Amino acid sequence: MTSVKTREPVDVLVMGSGASGAAVTWSLSAGGFKVVCLEQGPWVPPSSYPTNSADWQYLQRTTWDYSPNVRKLPADYPVNDEHSQIKVVMYNAIGGSTIHWTAHVPRFHPSDFRVKSLDGVAEDWPISYFDLEPYYDLNDEMMGCSGINGDPANPPRSPRQMPPLPLGPDGERMARAFDSLGWHWWPSDSHVNSTEYRGRQACNYCGPIGLNCDRGARASSDITYLPDAIKLGADVRPNSTVYEITTGPDGRATGANYYNSKGEQEFQPANSVVVAGNGIGTPRMLLHSRSRIHPNGLANSSGMVGKNLMFHVYAGATGLFNDLGSPTYRGPLANIIMSQEFYETDPSRDFKRGYTFQVGRGQGPAPTAIGNVPWGKNHHVEFDQRFGKTMGLGAIGDDLPEEINRVELDTKQTDRHGIPAPKITYRVSENSKRLLAHGVKSARKVLEAAGAHRIFENPFSTNTGWHLMGTARMGDDPGRSVVDRFGQSHDADNLFIVDGSVFVTGAAVNPTPTIQALALRTADYIRHERMDLKS
């Protein structure tokens, strides 16, 4: 029989060190709680980032691919997304997917929390934008936000820490195109430094933000929250894969069983468990943590664990220009400007809720060619028309929850430890299809106004499942939700969930700042209302 080593008990065990896990680890450590954070991936040394290698284009498609099914690194678990119209992407390391993100940080709108009341779709959140606002601000302070006040599409807010990233001649061209149509645009809020911030250097605009850099210009939780958390006493353990959240006879969480960095099984007892494994990893672990008291999986008396998976839907268009003056691969790939002209529901349109436009730049040589430039006789002409001469408009659409879209445990595939892989079932709704069709048509108008001489429409993007939301949603009704308004499980009062799983709706913006704000709010609740969890 395998012996399982039992570690010293702690106040809080956090599962996952990504955007939300790191924020909770920091906040609770600052509150004097004894915290252990278990992360299945390793620390990623900045020297290993692809931007330091001449081979970065190859790395981007292999060991730094966004899909765990392509990377197949030891920390990755397979994801069966055969029955999903959108393919899942994520990164597993200390810092989670913030190691590999583009750091675009728009906030939800107040209306996103009230879609049932306003538009008769999905459910209202049990909290409001204004409940989260102070935590958005705190998160911006920790991560460092480049941006500027005055956006008419969003509520007024505190000043950002740094001015916006420069738009460049290409970004300014797009801004004027929006102006000429009378449509909203605003510089994107970004967790990329436009100036030096807290010892991290300013961005030098090399291009692909998602590949990270050793300047520390792009925030990720391994270089923001976690160093501070460790100074405060947090024990962050890399290469530690949880395979079961354990519960006692009363159904409350008692800790977690996991494989340590040597592959040995250990038990970490804790007064409470905070799950931060993302919208796929969290339901996977809850469903895998079955027991006599929780026969359908932990925190799943409602049957809602794994259901209501949301990704965000993407479509858009790319324009070719021959008069921009400077190659469009110079400057951050993303995070230029956004438009929320079509964000809120408009009864004159044939869909509910809306989308945000994000403006993107051109890329390096191989990414320009792959998937875009035909092979054969016309290859060079087509490549030369595109390289350094493209601007893209992506519409990121509100993806309303449906129970049929879900995460389950796969009956065949497992990770290297034998833990079942997640199986994803997801179809794009009719509302989303209509919304995206509107987005493509509008994108064409903007690119025409900007002077593009050729435009390529992209009616739907497949490999964009990087926003993982809704699979353990919050709510006041224990029969229809998994956690309450503070992220506390309805079934076990010392079990908390803090990642995108708890989203009730997905809004039409990148979710990370909202995930982090929710995590900081949950941590604040534990610090002030759950002192019973502190030894």
Using an 8 Å Cβ cutoff, are 401 and 125 in contact? no
3-state secondary structure of 322: coil
Binding span for other proteins by CB under 8 A among 186-194, 253-261, 298-306, 413-421: 186-194
Binding span for other proteins by CB under 8 A among 233-241, 252-260, 325-333, 411-419: 325-333
Count how many Cα atoms sit within 13 Å of the Cα of residue 68 in the half-sphere of its side chain: 24
Binding span for other proteins by CB under 8 A among 1-9, 145-153, 286-294, 472-480: 145-153
Token digits for 231?
């100074």
**CA dist list (Å): 261 to 113, 271, 429:** 41, 23, 42
Question: Is the sign of the CA dihedral 220, 61, 465, 105 positive or negative?
Answer: positive
511 C-beta neighbours (distance < 10 Å), count: 24
Cα separation, 391 vs 432, in Å, equals 24
56 binds other proteins (CB under 8 A): yes
Token digits for 270?
């804790």
Residues in 203-242 that interact with other proteins by CB under 8 A: 203-208, 211, 213-215
Spatial CB neighbours of 37, under 8 Å, sequence gap ≥ 6: 13, 14, 16, 17, 21, 22, 25, 226, 229, 234, 235, 236, 237
412 binds other proteins (CB under 8 A): no
Contact pick of 199, 250, 295, 375 for other proteins (by CB under 8 A): 375
Of 245 and 508, which CB lies nearer to other proteins in the complex structure? 508
Minimum separation from the CB atom of position 105 to other proteins (A): 17
Contact pick of 165, 304, 497, 498 for other proteins (by CB under 8 A): 165
506 binds other proteins (CB under 8 A): no
Binding span for other proteins by CB under 8 A among 50-58, 95-103, 249-257, 503-511: 50-58
Residues in 89-118 that interact with other proteins by CB under 8 A: 109-111, 113-114, 117-118
469 binds other proteins (CB under 8 A): no
4 binds other proteins (CB under 8 A): no
462 binds other proteins (CB under 8 A): no
Chain centroid to Cα 502, Å, comes to: 13
Which 8-state DSSP code applies to residue 50? G
Of 259 and 343, which CB lies nearer to other proteins in the complex structure? 343
Contact pick of 155, 233, 248, 303 for other proteins (by CB under 8 A): 155
3-state secondary structure of 262: coil
Cα separation, 82 vs 80, in Å, equals 6
Of 343 and 357, which CB lies nearer to other proteins in the complex structure? 343
Of 4 and 370, which CB lies nearer to other proteins in the complex structure? 370
45 binds other proteins (CB under 8 A): no
128 binds other proteins (CB under 8 A): yes
Spatial CB neighbours of 45, under 8 Å, sequence gap ≥ 6: none
